Amino acid sequence: MVKILIVDDDPDVRDLVRYELEARDWEVAEAATAAEVAPVLAAGTPDLILLDLRLPDQDGLTLAARLRASSSIPIIMLTGLGGDVDRIVGLEMGADDYVVKPFNPRELVARIKAVLRRAGAVAVPVELTEHDRRSFAGWVIDLTARTLETPAGQGVALTNAEFLLLEAFVRAPRCVLSRDQLLERTRADGGEVFDRTIDVLILRLRRKIEPNPRAPQLIRTERGAGYALDADVRRL
């Protein structure tokens, strides 16, 4: 069963979302404040978190950063603010999607399903399959298990969008991919997109895989054209 955690101080919003999700036989947990999140997580890890940007005891962006630092649980931000700056900051903090209030409940459900599909959280038939593992510059990415390991063999947590971005580069090494091409691969299933999304995701990914993100060697910027993975990729 899919489990969703709603973090919002507005009981009407929580009730509306709970009604829509439970109608689909999903399990729902609630938190009205940032302080209530830790006990809820301790009781069971959700498949996705709906997180309000404005909470009474802590900024939602700060909470998102804390959550992302310790887990890769998908996060969808809920907010009444619709400016690009807020969207970009939310993505910087590790959010996977962004929904502006007031929202259509059915659209929210569609966004949740899209993020869960990208995260691999939606149940699929179990079958034995050979993993698609590839190596670049000593790094190992498993496209089947959706994992990434450093050259030293340590696991690196990636958000859904970060993994999809890296996957796009690995599948087309040394090829320049435009922002539009990258947006299609990282913001699929009808999600709202804007050009700065890719710039933010590139920055986040560089922080995780580049020795020096300020002087990137793996993800090359082609001004006016897009980005490219500047490394050879081989199957393992």
Query: Considering its fold, how many domains does the chain have in total?
Result: 2
> By residue range, what is the domain housing residue 208?
133-235
* Cα–Cα distances in angstroms (integers) from residue 36 to residues 32, 63, 138, 220, in the given order: 7, 11, 41, 42
In the chain, which ranges are E strands?
A: 3-7, 27-31, 48-52, 75-79, 97-100, 133-136, 139-142, 147-149, 219-222, 226-229, 233-235
Statement to judge: residues 101 and 146 lie in one domain: no
CATH of the domain at 149: 1.10.10.10
127 within domain boundaries: no
d(CA 193, CA 140): 29
Structure confidence by residue, pLDDT tens digits, 108-157: 888 898 888 877 755 433 343 567 899 999 999 998 888 999 999 999 98
d(CA 73, CA 186): 17
Structure confidence by residue, pLDDT tens digits, 172-219: 999 999 888 888 777 644 444 445 678 888 999 999 999 999 999 999
| Residue 54 DSSP class | B
Statement to judge: residues 222 and 166 lie in one domain: yes
Statement to judge: residues 7 and 91 lie in one domain: yes
Structure confidence by residue, pLDDT tens digits, 207-220: 999 999 999 999 99
Sign of CA pseudo-dihedral 85, 89, 94, 98: negative
CATH of the domain at 65: 3.40.50.2300
- pLDDT of amino acid 127: 40
128 within domain boundaries: no
pLDDT at 229 > cutoff 90: yes
Statement to judge: residues 158 and 99 lie in one domain: no
